[in-house]
Copies of this chain bind each other. A is one copy, B any other.
Amino acid sequence: MIILAPISSVCALAFAAYLAMKVMKLEEGTAEMSKISLAVRMGSDAYLKRQYLSVGIFFCVMFVVLLVLAWLGFITIFVPFAFVTGGFFSGLSGYIGMKVATHANVRTTNACITSLNSGLRVAFNSGTVIGLVVVSLGLLDVSFWYYLLNWYYTSVQPAASDALRIQSITSAMLTFGMGASTMALFARVGGGIFTKAADVGADLVGKIEAGIPEDDPRNPAVIADNVGDNVGDIAGMGSDLYESYVGSIIASAALATAAGLGESGVALPIAIASVGVLASMFGTFLVRTGENADQSKLLSALRSGVYSSSLIIAVASYFLIRATLGAGSLGVYFSVLIGLVAGNFIGFATEYFTSDAYNPVRELAQTSTTGAATVIIGGLSLGMLSTAMPVIIVAIVVISSFLLSGGANNYSLGLYGVAISAVGMLSTLGITLATDAYGPIADNAGGIAEMADLPDEVREKTDALDALGNTTAATGKGFAIGSAALTALALIAAYKEEIELIALRKNIDFNFDLSILNPPVLIGMFVGGMLPFVFSSMTMKAVGRTAQSIVVEVRRQFNEIKGLMEGTAEPDYKRCVDICTQNAQKEIVLPAVIAIASPIIVGLLLGVNAVAGMLCGATVSGFMMAEMMSNAGGAWDNAKKHIEAGKGNLGGKGSDNHKAAVVGDTVGDPFKDTSGPSIDILIKLLSMVSIVFASLTLQLALMK
């Protein structure tokens, strides 16, 4: 069954390569456009190279630490290598995404000169390349390690029992999850700091102080802003979703043995994901419209692709589950279905709170009439309120997938059901990511149109594409955060399994007391609950600090470069890119260290019960914070756009109301694109680190 994984990955990669070539064959447009695109591409390249260098150093250090631990017998020898491959593939996903996007942006602009629809085709095809690459690489990585470990524990050093073999395989596989999460955290946080600092910095001086429009070529931070879209929203998101995808699969696999499912339990999530890749590919074929289709038709074409893919997966999973687990385990099938549906529901809830088609954002726009302060109060309170629906949806998913898959009689099987619902939720990632990734490409295309001084109607078309992207992005965020919560819960269960396995193996007399009234668990929950707050504080402050450096630099260039405002002299774009790059690299280190060190420190000081409590506290408070920040940010953005829209609402562009709304949007930038999405990764990374270092903390804690 697992053989499906490499087969479907290779198919998808081939298709992605074909699409990529198709996009590359298109014209770049005028020389000016090529020049701008090249500047963006070079900036992005430079940033990612620099980032991968720092991350590389970090990975080398971790690799050596893990080697030493393996040598000391705390972990198997596979762990260091799995860690590195996880990081490598996650980084590769981001890199390929960035490459595709930086070639696609200018071609999208050029296609928009012809028509809206051809612009959408270019952007969506490029998005599809990114989506398929991410899921294929994930599946390849998972299946490669499965085969390798299986071969090792069968032929080289046969495990004492089948159960022990499976458990050894899955616990080693969790390590590349940790590698992927670490890379994703760096990419999301680093890219997020870069993109938002550039964006905020460019807006603060450009739009607010100098009064020049967005993406105006006279703004020295404008290239950095466009580079940011590629390294944050594309490369960061690619690594991030690679991590989510792989994480959900291996979290389910890790619970298979305890659930009494054996090898079939490991095969199932991989098989569902493989079918998901093929279904996504098939779904993209359905995204076809006539040359004159309008936006709503395009959106429904997009949706029909996603829904058909979901349907295929829903049908195929039934047979997959019958074949792997037998007709008796059909309850697990409902978990997959619940996951598939719930992701969409969270997406709808997100859309309701962040789209100006509904009341919340319209009311938020209304608060701008009494100034910036009420816009901020309104947006924060909207974000806080928006946590309610997703919590209820996740609660329903957890309890129903637990009970339907048989949790009442077999506790571990119930938890496996919860984990598999996350796999179901992410199974359409190939196509949902495609609809997600084209947004930033369209955004960039707009920037190029503006900078190359193309006619206004081109910019209008790219703006329309961008707006369409915002709607689909809301759904995408729903999937990301919903699956993060479910995967994190599954990983907490996996942590417990892992500790018990180690205790069994090493003959340690150990019993969990995970009661919420056990003081270490309680304290762990408090510490865990605090982590997303401290983490967000750091990432937000990093954006603020970097943005301030950009502001200072842009002001300096405005003052010192003569003829800049008149358009006779060129700004020094590169300097802004450099500032963002350097700062982002500096600022990612501490948050990453905290994420990795916390589980180890808590484990050594307070024991493994406290670690479990910490994971739980971090998941709960992290889920709320991620929802609050993402939705408040999205709502501010769209409240501002609502004011700008058409002929202008509530005074339109340039009015005091608009200025107040821009303050909200600026605060929302780090909320929704740096801190919020990073928390999703944080909560999973904490769990994976806990699991990988479980043996170490358990034994050191007992030595005391």
Which one of A124-132, A171-179, A394-402 is at the interface? A394-402
Compute how far the CA of A666 lies from the CA of B374 in the bound complex, rounded to whole angstroms: 8
Which of B208, B388, B522 contacts A489 (CB under 8 A)? B522
Smallest Cβ distance from A515 to chain B, in angstroms?
4
Which residues of chain B are near A538, meaning CB under 8 Å?
381, 385
Compute how far the CA of A662 lies from the CA of B621 in the bound complex, rounded to whole angstroms: 30
Known interface pairs A526-B391, A530-B624. Does A516 touch B616 (Cβ–Cβ under 8 Å)? Answer: yes
Cross-chain contact B514 with A516 (CB below 8 angstroms): yes
Cross-chain contact B493 with A517 (CB below 8 angstroms): yes
Which residues of chain B are near A519, meaning CB under 8 Å?
398-399, 402, 407, 414, 418
Which residues of chain B are near A374, meaning CB under 8 Å?
200, 204, 544, 547-548, 666
Smallest Cβ distance from A423 to chain B, in angstroms?
18
Which residues of chain B are near A382, meaning CB under 8 Å?
537
Complex copy number for this chain: 2
A617 CB-CB contact with B under 8 Å: yes
Cross-chain contact A663 with B515 (CB below 8 angstroms): no
Which one of A91-99, A364-372, A647-655, A689-697 is at the interface? A364-372
Cross-chain contact A520 with B372 (CB below 8 angstroms): no
Cross-chain contact A204 with B370 (CB below 8 angstroms): yes
- Number of residues of chain A lying within 8 A (CB) of chain B: 78
Known interface pairs A394-B526, A544-B377. Does A492 touch B520 (Cβ–Cβ under 8 Å)? Answer: no
Cross-chain contact B548 with A381 (CB below 8 angstroms): no
Known interface pairs A367-B544, A370-B548, A514-B516. Does A534 touch B387 (Cβ–Cβ under 8 Å)? Answer: yes
Cross-chain contact A523 with B399 (CB below 8 angstroms): yes
Which of A407, A519, A538 has the most CB atoms of chain B within a 10 A radius of its CB? A519
Cross-chain contact B398 with A525 (CB below 8 angstroms): no
Cross-chain contact A373 with B666 (CB below 8 angstroms): yes
Which residues of chain B are near A378, meaning CB under 8 Å?
541, 544
Which residues of chain B are near A666, meaning CB under 8 Å?
371, 373-374, 377
Which of A380, A551, A613 has the most CB atoms of chain B within a 10 A radius of its CB? A380
Smallest Cβ distance from A219 to chain B, in angstroms?
15
Compute how far the CA of A617 lies from the CA of B371 in the bound complex, rounded to whole angstroms: 35
A540 CB-CB contact with B under 8 Å: yes
Which of B522, B530, B540, B613 contacts A380 (CB under 8 A)? B540
Contacts A/B (CB < 8 Å), 17 sampled: A200-B374, A204-B370, A204-B374, A208-B371, A374-B548, A377-B666, A380-B540, A387-B533, A388-B534, A395-B526, A418-B519, A489-B522, A514-B516, A516-B612, A525-B620, A533-B624, A533-B628
List the 9 closest pairs (A to B, CB-CB), nearest first.
A373-B666, A384-B537, A385-B537, A529-B620, A381-B540, A384-B533, A381-B537, A514-B515, A395-B523
